[in-house]
Amino acid sequence: MFKRVLTAVVFVAALAVAVLFTAMNPGEVDLELGFALWQVPLGLAFILAIALGWVLGLLSMLPRMLRLANQKRRLRHEAQKTGGGLAVDERG
């Protein structure tokens, strides 16, 4: 419960900062993609940069996540095959 409330508070605070940033910087910037040139508001360029960083971060984690999911599936299959019991070392 506390974690959800904290997440909501952080989200609302970040949204407030983004709105204030956009309101205080009404200018436009040139966004050049190599094949196109667009003039966009500074706030939108800021949001696009954050979104692009988020997507690239997720893509960089994807190989590790797939490896862990495969390992989890393999270990679960092995545990079912051996009866699902844990081996306990009696020596101490």
Predicted TM-score (pTM) of the model is 0.59
CA dist 78 and 13 (Å) reads: 46
- Helix pair 42-81, 2-24: axis angle to 10 deg: 160
**pLDDT of 88 higher than 60:** no
CA dist 6 and 18 (Å) reads: 18
How confident is the model over 1-59, as pLDDT tens digits? 889 999 999 989 988 988 888 888 889 999 888 899 999 988 888 888 889 999 999 99
pLDDT at position 9: 95
CA dist 84 and 82 (Å) reads: 6
